[in-house]
Amino acid sequence: MTTTTSPVLSASGVTMRFGGLTAVRSVDLTVNSGEIVGLIGPNGAGKTTFFNCLTGLYVPTEGNVTYQGDILPPKPHLVTQAGVARTFQNIRLFANMTVLENVLVGRHTRTKEGLWSALLRGPGFKRAEAASKERAMELLEFTGLADKADHLSRNLPYGEQRKLEIARALASDPGLLLLDEPTAGMNPQETRATEELVFAIRDQGTAVLVIEHDMRFIFNLCDRVTVLVQGQKLIEGTPDVVQSDERVIAAYIGTPFEGAPGDDEVAEVEAAEAEAAEAQQDTGPSGTPKSTTARTEDGQ
């Protein structure tokens, strides 16, 4: 990894209350440059709310968020301007714009041609437009969507829509990329490809903070993982530490307690399953002809 570990983003004591409900309770989080940080937690733990606090969609009730030492303003477009880009949990592309136009919209903060230069069409405008287009095509090349630049984004397959959202976010040349469940609904191959993509983004010098439910994806990818449970930070550490922490497991699947009424049955079922697994291994080769017979019988 990179040797410089200056913090890119640091959130301290972020609390978000909706009326009487505290969705996020004094969460601290630091993302260093060149790092991929994971944010996990069971459903309703407040991950996306926390994301929205970071990106200015919500104004945190308490606490503050700094990006490279400066406090982020509570307006989404200013956060993006500062250098924090994001994707959305439910894809939010500009459905009726082409793939290229989507990425060009992402370039908005890094260009400044206003109405007048658009109307007058001076050489500066043409240069800026060409440069934007070139950068956008680079990003489409990077995400593997270059040959679909002229398609409407609504017509892309699901996996490519996710990729396009990432390309669009990258177009603002962010120092930190926030990915909200980038592999939701993907098959294993697509997940694998996304993993590669996130590594490539990190290698280009963009820190990444990612929310995900796919544990294999998270533990492969992240340098550090933070676990959020019921709005509070439970633990933070390397994947190994988090993976073996009992509280994390408990948060996801609950804790067994002494003398639970179902314990005996659970033990029985487990024993039976183990036995069955063994039996299946033994009869493995003979299983095929058996099923063929069954099929012929069905046919008659």
Kindly list the residues in this chain that would bind another protein in the complex (CB under 8 A): 55, 57, 75-77, 80-81, 85-86, 88, 91-98, 101, 104-109, 111, 113-115, 118-119, 121, 125, 128-129, 132, 150-152, 154-161, 168-169, 172, 185
288: DSSP letter: H
Q: Which is it for strands 36-40 and 224-229: parallel, antiparallel or unpaired?
A: parallel
Give the shortest CB-184-to-another protein separation in angstroms: 11
| Minimum distance from residue 279 beta carbon to another protein (Å) | 39
Q: Which two tokens stand for residue 94?
A: 């500009």
Q: Which is nearer to another protein, 116 or 257 (CB)?
A: 116
Task: Tell me which DSSP letter residue 206 carries.
Answer: -
Q: How far is the CB of 216 from another protein (least distance, A)?
A: 22
Q: Distance between CA 86 and CA 179 in Å, rounded?
A: 6
Percent of residues in the chain assigned helix, strand, coil, to nearest 5: 45, 20, 30
Nearer to another protein, 81 or 220 (CB): 81
The widest CA-to-CA distance across the chain, in whole angstroms, is 80
Give me the residue label for tokens 């908005």. 108
What's the rounded Cα separation, in Å, for the pair 63 and 84? 18
Neighbours of 278 (CB within 10 A): 10
CB 58 → another protein: shortest distance, Å? 12
Alpha-carbon span 258 to 216, nearest angstrom? 31
- Least Å distance, CB 121 to another protein, is 6
End-to-end Cα, the chain, rounded Å: 64
Cβ proximity to another protein, 16 vs 234, nearer residue: 16
Q: Nearer Cβ to another protein, position 22 or 117? A: 117
Minimum CB separation from another protein for residue 159, in Å?
8
Q: Could you tell me the two tokens for 291? A: 């099923």
Give the nearer residue to another protein in terms of CB position, either 25 or 163: 163
In the complex with another protein, the residue whose CB is nearer, 164 or 207, is 164
Residues 6+ apart with CB under 8 A from 225: 37, 38, 39, 40, 218, 219, 236, 237, 238, 239, 242
**Residue 32 or 172 with smaller CB distance to another protein:** 172
Distance of CA 298 to the CA centre of its chain: 47
Minimum CB separation of residue 21 from another protein in Å reads 22
